[in-house]
Amino acid sequence: LRVTTTLTTGDQKITEILKLRSCPDITETSPYALCVACVSAGCHWSPGSQDCRWTHSSGPPVHILSLSKVFLLCPHFQPGIRSLLPNQVSVHGKTNAVIKGENLDPVIKVRFQWLTECSSKETPVLERSTDTLKFHIPSGNTGKVKMCVVTADGRCHSNIIITYGSQPTCTGLQPRSTWASGGRRIQVLGSSLEYVEKVIVDDKEMSVTSLTVGVWFNTPPLGVGEGSGLFRVSLRVGNSTVDCVDKLSYLPNPEFTSFSKSQEYSEVSVVINKKQDRLNVREEDVKVWGLQEEKQFECAVQNVISTAIVCNILERQDIRINVTSLRVRLSKSPTVSAV
């Protein structure tokens, strides 16, 4: 209901249009927002039934109800933060961070207040539910920052500390070469690597495996029309990238030419001959299986040199092993070679 109010003092007249709200008709998108709107309008909020009613006693005028008093009347619906993942980021920030808490559905943005500076930043909420928020952590200077969640009325709720650390560095790759079909496991060398979100090879973003001792990724295969050569590698950190010192060398897949086998005690020893290349294939790079009719036996790799792979198949009591062919797979590569 709109009401026009006129105040006359001497020869001065002040007119203002006021909007009066019907308490039972007040609606909002969440219990928290409904409680605040109800109390702010001078109505009575019923916590039990969670509805807004006409007040049965005189109350203070709306304009003298401070925000702090309004929120004291709606304590059970205020948004709260339980955890933040991650709570440590680099100076480049972090994409798709997650807050867990309660009553988070009315939150529209997240505010960051640097403890050592008189500055703050805000970032919008990307996805929300009652107990989860997804958002981007902005870039910032090293140090501790207090973070809170903000509702449409501008009020900041709850808080948690987030720590900004140094920018990651990429000083090398180990190994520095991969085969054309991709899938080789590469370790990233450097510092502050716990903040790395993705590894970019040329223009392909690859997921990373992060452990306390470092970061690894599996190389992508060469695209159609792409040939062997050196490819730029960089790290995705927040909305920024950090270049690696080393480039990744793509080479043709190893060529396995023949194999021989011999019986040694309770094992069948297999030697796979390969053409010499510059891939420096390691034992952990290769998986081998021996085939005998419709049966398949794992051949445990024992040694790899530039021109051969040596593996052993354990004998079984129920069958005499006499493999007639082999399958060789390179790490996570989708290509399996037949020998």
Closest residue by Cα to residue 178 from 209, 201, 211:
201
User: What pLDDT digit, counting tens, does each position of 151-163 carry?
Assistant: 887 888 888 999 9
Q: What is the DSSP string of 276-311?
A: --SS---GGGEEEEEEETTEEEEEEEEEEETTEEEE
Q: In this predicted model, which residue has the larger pLDDT, 44 or 172?
A: 172
Predicted TM-score (pTM) of the model is 0.69
User: What pLDDT digit, counting tens, does each position of 74-115 carry?
Assistant: 666 778 889 999 888 998 988 899 999 988 888 889 999 887
CA distance 151 to 71: 12
Tokens for 73, please give them: 């009347």
User: What pLDDT digit, counting tens, does each position of 246-301 carry?
Assistant: 999 999 999 999 989 888 778 888 899 999 999 999 998 999 998 888 888 898 99
CA distance 224 to 200: 18
Could you count the other beta carbons within 10 Å of the beta carbon of residue 294? 5
Q: What is the 3-state secondary structure (H, E, C) of 144-181?
A: EEEEEEEECCCCEEEEEEEEEECCCEEEEEECCEEECC
pLDDT at position 75:
61
Q: What is the DSSP string of 40-53?
A: HTT-EEETTTTEEE
72 half-sphere exposure, CB direction, 13 A CA radius: 5
Task: Summarize the confidence of residues 186-195 as an average pLDDT.
Answer: 90
The mean-pLDDT minimum among 17-21, 57-61, 173-177, 206-210 falls in 57-61
Task: Summarize the confidence of residues 144-149 as an average pLDDT.
Answer: 90
pLDDT at position 64:
41
pLDDT at position 27:
75
85 half-sphere exposure, CB direction, 13 A CA radius: 7
pLDDT at position 18:
65
Phi, psi of 302 (to 5 degrees): -105, -35
